[in-house]
Structure 1
């Protein structure tokens, strides 16, 4: 299939369609793309991009045969899928002047009041009248008759009106904590992982959802620097990590409160996923997220929630290690005492029974592996 995208209607325009014989329509989808570039130079980033993508799409099988003949396979870890986003109208505070002009040019409504009600979400007749009054425009005027000055007045009114309801977050499609954790476990095989999906929030009339996660231990190794995986609408952001708002938040958090001496020197990886109709990129390169207060707050809250679970996990793990050391120390002395008594009395005391009781007393027998409990919390 060959198609274009109608950006005004956000709809596909099919140019060519072919049906392949012998292949079920429900079996799979193939997307072919062609790129020209210096693969040896970009190889590391390409493989890393696929690796990070596999984390946020754990329901997809990804295979990559590179120009050098190397095959990279990222198998799926689940058949579950995130909820599909719902189609919605524009929020009046989220449009720019160019978009407003396009809507006016394409509308078939005959009054400004009906134009606002039909083309913008959560705008009723009462709200439309108040906006038009603020703009100094009659509700029954035909949108096609507006002058540039009147369009500018309408745009200004949309931006300054303060009684609009918040935008509808159902247009977003977050990954979800369970799928996020599934992807992280599959790719990084950590000892601990915790993911959190924050409630929907709004910045500049654009809904957004922040998802955060922390993975620790297992196959993860300390690298001497902060390990941060960033995503925008499930797209990995590989460059300019130190300029990202998430990086600065991690740097300013006192991790000693969560049992971490230094994120740079411990086997820990942070994950931040921002889902929004307008991701607040700092530059046109779209490589890092700007320090928007509303977004920064949600990122920090999400990371701190994950960190609290990590603190509990580390506390239990370190206590278990301490108890194990105590047990080994007592075991050594018990053996020495038993051997000495055997030499003196000719009979070895039942040291095994004492060691078993010691195991029970210090919790070694019931220490178990906290990983599953922590990961599923």
Structure 2
């Protein structure tokens, strides 16, 4: 039975990935700091559900706590590490930038050191579509240059990509970085637009619609996302032989067993259409408070997910209206609304 360490296992994506891995017969150890960035009871409930499996165990500590993290890794001795733990949120990074350096840069360094020490079969680490920053060519492809990050959150994620490449090169650690595109679904984060919109509409409060709704996002349903990660686990990159030609569109490094992969729905959805779909699912019209664009935000994201499909044969395809309906059903059930 392969052993997978999932950091951020009480988080939105970490919970769904851990549940999928457990269903597929892996032994999973979760590691989560249970920070109060949002409602901790939601994180605790996710962990409680995972604990129903005899193949799940967990440690609650901060990634920056090197002694606690190393003791856990040395005891569990993972075959695979999926590093999802991070300080998330573009907007919060404007208020608390230091939290992003500590969690995302220092924390990721600790994970990479553990992967090196244990010579894991595959290290997979989460990045974000935000690394594309001010890029205007769409859809975003992994081989595009990405040097114009607009927030410290995006900058820390780009830094972890660079750190991951160096460790893959130096220590021959097969490393896959995945760039997520606006993930949503049941058990989501309360700071995300879908969660905030549904809560406000049900409570009769107005919703803030930025850039007057003239924004586009590549919304990716969480179960599609974790299926992509699960398939990538079985697809570790291999260092190319000297002079070996890398296929066009493949982000495989010429000097390391390292690759970057987009996981997105490959479909631009206008924010106004997203709000319309939420209203339809809830059955209530929203009072819309149209706002200017927020600092650090981008007008559009759109993934080229052809590399994921080439590597795994899989492409996320949940229609956004279906995904929203599933989220609303979960939200009503969880909060009794």
Larger Rg: 1
Question: TM class, shorter-chain normalised?
Answer: under 0.3
Give the TM-score, by structure 2 length.
0.23
Give the TM-score, by structure 1 length.
0.21
Q: For CA contacts below 8 A with separation 6 or more, give which structure has more relative contact order.
A: 2
